[in-house]
C-alpha cells in the first residue's frame, strides 16, 4: 500500500498512512502535505485555499472557496468555519469546492462547526417548532469532486473528505454557474455535502448533520465509512439523510437518524460507474422517518433499489412511515437482512415494517430473526429517555407538514436513546459478519470502524457504539 501522508503538524503530533484496497485495486489519497509552515492566520477565506485552520479559531467566508487538486485544507479541533450568507442566490450562498483533500478533525471535547452565521437563531427557531428558516437553504455545502480537466491539470485525481466530531448544518442554497449542472441543475437546492469520486474516501465519524433543505448527504461514488453520527431534521418535503449511488462501497453503522423527510439511508445503483453500489447497514437507530415526503410509498428507513446490493442487520426502526424497503429492481438475491427490530405506534406503520412494494421474495421470506409484531404498540424498545408513544401517528399517518411535527420527533434534543435493561433489543444483534471496510482503517485520519454489536441499535450496553 502506498504511503501518502508522512507527517502532519507537530502541534498535534499526528501521523497517517492513508490507503485503501478493494478487490486488489490500490486506492490513493490526494498527495498533499499539510505542515506547520502553512497555518492560515487571516480570519476571512476566499478563492483558492490550502493549509491549516488553527485550533479554536473562527474563520469566515462569504464567497465560494476552493481546495485545488493536490492541496489539502485541514481544520484543527475547535474551529468554527462560518458562511456569511442569505441563501437568496448562488452568489450569496457560498460553497466549499473540494478538489483536493478536506479534513475536519474536531474532537469530543472541542468539536468543529461548519455552519451559517445565524445558526444559533435557526436552532432556537427549530426548538420552538418553527422550521421555515431551518429548511430555507442558507449556504452551498461542501462539494467534493475531481477538478475539471485543464491544460494545467490534465489528469485530476481529486481526494478525500474526512469529517470527525464536526457539526455541518443548514445547507441548501440555490445552485448557480459555478456548480456542475449534472449534480446541481441551476437553481436547485444543494446539499449539506456531496461527494463523487469512485477511487477516493468519504469518512464521516461522530459528527452531527442538521437542517438540510433537500438531501443531507449524497454520494455519487466513492469508498465510504459513516460511523456513529447523528442526523436530524433534514428535508422539507423530500430528501434523504444519506443517499448513495452507483460506484459507492462501504459501511453505514451506529448512526442515529431521526426525522428524515424520506429515507434515512437510500442505496441505489442508479448511474453508470460500472461499480455496483454495495452497502452494509448495521446497528443504526432510525426514528420517525419518512413522514414529510409527499410522494406515495417513499421511504422512511432503509431502502435498497435499482440494482443495489448489501446487508441490513441489527437496525432499530421505530415509528417510521415505511420500514425496510427492497424493491423488485434491487439486486434482491444479494441483499441480506435480519436481526432488525421494528416498532410501530399505528397499524399503518406496522403494516409497512417491510414495505408492501418490496420484492415478492422479500415479502414471502421476512427474516425470522427480526423483532416484530402485527399489533400496534407491541414490543416497545424501551429507550432510557425517549417516549415512542408521545405522538399520535394514527391521526397523522402522513404526509405530515413539518410545522405539525413536534421538535422531539425530529431531533434528539435531551433524549437518551440507550436501551433499558428490559429492552428486547439487548443481546439480539448479529455479530458473525464483518464490515466491508472499503476505506483505510489505520491512522488518525483513517476510518475508526466499530464492529457489529450484540445489542440492536446504535447504543451498546457496554458503552460502545454511538458516543453522542
10 Å Cβ neighbour count for 370? 21
Of the residues 149, 167, 187, which one is the last residue of a structural domain? 187
pLDDT, residue 416, reads 98
pLDDT, residue 402, reads 93
Whether 181 and 220 share a structural domain: no
Structural domain contains residue 196? no
Whether 178 and 241 share a structural domain: no
HSE of 247 in the Cβ direction (CA atoms, 13 Å)? 17
Whether 224 and 183 share a structural domain: no
- 66 with 26: CB under 8 angstroms? no
- 381 with 419: CB under 8 angstroms? yes
Structural domain contains residue 209? no
Element (H, E) at 122: helix 119-127
- 138 with 83: CB under 8 angstroms? yes
In sequence order, what DSSP letters do the residues of 342-398 get, joined into one string? EE-SSHHHHTTSB-TTS-HHHHHS--TTSB--SSTT-S---EEE--TTSS-TTT--S
Rg value, the chain, Cα:
21
Whether 249 and 171 share a structural domain: no
User: C-alpha distances in angstroms, 416 versus 383, 388, 393, 412, 436?
Assistant: 7, 12, 21, 8, 29
Which residue has cell 481529486? 158
Whether 165 and 222 share a structural domain: no
Whether 273 and 168 share a structural domain: no
Whether 281 and 165 share a structural domain: no
pLDDT, residue 441, reads 65
Whether 158 and 221 share a structural domain: no
The total of structural domains in the chain comes to 2
Question: Per-block average pLDDT, block size 10, for the chain (468 residues)?
Answer: 37 36 35 56 96 97 97 97 98 98 97 98 96 96 96 92 98 97 97 97 98 97 98 96 98 98 97 95 98 85 97 98 97 98 98 96 95 97 98 95 95 97 98 95 86 98 97
- Displacement of CA 360 from its chain's centroid (Å): 30
Structural domain contains residue 200? no
User: C-alpha distances in angstroms, 225 versus 73, 219, 305?
Assistant: 20, 12, 20
Whether 109 and 246 share a structural domain: no
Structural domain contains residue 195? no
**Cα–Cα dist 209/191, whole Å:** 11
pLDDT, residue 21, reads 37
The pTM for the full model equals 0.92
Structural domain contains residue 369? yes
Whether 97 and 245 share a structural domain: no
User: C-alpha distances in angstroms, 339 versus 382, 384, 414, 419?
Assistant: 17, 21, 28, 16
Structural domain contains residue 88? yes
Q: Which of 322, 253, 239 is nearest to 281 (CA)?
A: 253
Structural domain contains residue 244? yes
Q: Which of 246, 213, 243 is nearest to 226 (CA)?
A: 243
**Cα–Cα dist 199/247, whole Å:** 9
Burial of 91 (0-12, 13-18, 19+ CB in 10 A): middle
Of the residues 169, 187, 205, which one is the last residue of a structural domain? 187
Structural domain containing residue 447: 215-468
Whether 341 and 452 share a structural domain: yes
Strand runs labelled E in 109-176: 112-116, 142-144, 161-164, 166-169
Whether 139 and 276 share a structural domain: no
Structural domain contains residue 122? no
Which residue has cell 490500490? 26
Amino acid at each position: 500500500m502506498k504511503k501518502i501522508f508522512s507527517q502532519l503538524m507537530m502541534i498535534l503530533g499526528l501521523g497517517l498512512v492513508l490507503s485503501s484496497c478493494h478487490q486488489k485495486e490500490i486506492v490513493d489519497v490526494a498527495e498533499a502535505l499539510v505542515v506547520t509552515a502553512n497555518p492560515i492566520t487571516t480570519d476571512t477565506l476566499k478563492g483558492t485555499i490550502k493549509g491549516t485552520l488553527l485550533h479554536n479559531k473562527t474563520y469566515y467566508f462569504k464567497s465560494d472557496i476552493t481546495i485545488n487538486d493536490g492541496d489539502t485544507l485541514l481544520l484543527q479541533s475547535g474551529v468554527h468555519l462560518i458562511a456569511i450568507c442569505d441563501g437568496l442566490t448562488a452568489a450569496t450562498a457560498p460553497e466549499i469546492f473540494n478538489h483536493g483533500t478536506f479534513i475536519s478533525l474536531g474532537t469530543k471535547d472541542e468539536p468543529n462547526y461548519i455552519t451559517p452565521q445565524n445558526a444559533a437563531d435557526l436552532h432556537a427557531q427549530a426548538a420552538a417548532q418553527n422550521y421555515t428558516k431551518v429548511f430555507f437553504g442558507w449556504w452551498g455545502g461542501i462539494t467534493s469532486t475531481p477538478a475539471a480537466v485543464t491544460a494545467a491539470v490534465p489528469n485530476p485525481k481529486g481526494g478525500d473528505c474526512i469529517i470527525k466530531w464536526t457539526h455541518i448544518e443548514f445547507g441548501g442554497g440555490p445552485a448557480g454557474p459555478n456548480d456542475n449542472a449534472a449534480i446541481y441543475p441551476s437553481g436547485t437546492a444543494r446539499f449539506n455535502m456531496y461527494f463523487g469520486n469512485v477511487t477516493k474516501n468519504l469518512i464521516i465519524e461522530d459528527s452531527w448533520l442538521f437542517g438540510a433543505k433537500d438531501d443531507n448527504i449524497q454520494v455519487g461514488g466513492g469508498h465510504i465509512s459513516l460511523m456513529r453520527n447523528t442526523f436530524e431534521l433534514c428535508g422539507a418535503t423530500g430528501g434523504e439523510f444519506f443517499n448513495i449511488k452507483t460506484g459507492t462501497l462501504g459501511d453505514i453503522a451506529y448512526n442515529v437518524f431521526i426525522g428524515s423527510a424520506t429515507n434515512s439511508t437510500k442505496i441505489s445503483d442508479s448511474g453508470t460507474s460500472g461499480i455496483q453500489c454495495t452497502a452494509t447497514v448495521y446497528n443504526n437507530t432510525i426514528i420517525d422517518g419518512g413522514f414529510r415526503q409527499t410522494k406515495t410509498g417513499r421511504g422512511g428507513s432503509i431502502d435498497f433499489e435499482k440494482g443495489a446490493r448489501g446487508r441490513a442487520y441489527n437496525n432499530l426502526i421505530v415509528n417510521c412511515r415505511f420500514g425496510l424497503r427492497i424493491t423488485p429492481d434491487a439486486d434482491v438475491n444479494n441483499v441480506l437482512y435480519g436481526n432488525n427490530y421494528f416498532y410501530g405506534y399505528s397499524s399503518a406503520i406496522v403494516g409497512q415494517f417491510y414495505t408492501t412494494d418490496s420484492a415478492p421474495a422479500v415479502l414471502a421470506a421476512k427474516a425470522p430473526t427480526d423483532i416484530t409484531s402485527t399489533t400496534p404498540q407491541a414490543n416497545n424498545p424501551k429507550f432510557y429517555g425517549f417516549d415512542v408513544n408521545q405522538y399520535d401517528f394514527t391521526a397523522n399517518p402522513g404526509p405530515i407538514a413539518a410545522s405539525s411535527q413536534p421538535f422531539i420527533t425530529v431531533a434528539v434534543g435531551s433524549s437518551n436513546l440507550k436501551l433499558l435493561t428490559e429492552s428486547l433489543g439487548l443481546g439480539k444483534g448479529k455479530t458473525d459478519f464483518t464490515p466491508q471496510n472499503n476505506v483505510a482503517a489505520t491512522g488518525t485520519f483513517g476510518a475508526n470502524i466499530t464492529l457489529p454489536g450484540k445489542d440492536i441499535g446504535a447504543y451498546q450496553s457496554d458503552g460502545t457504539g454511538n458516543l453522542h
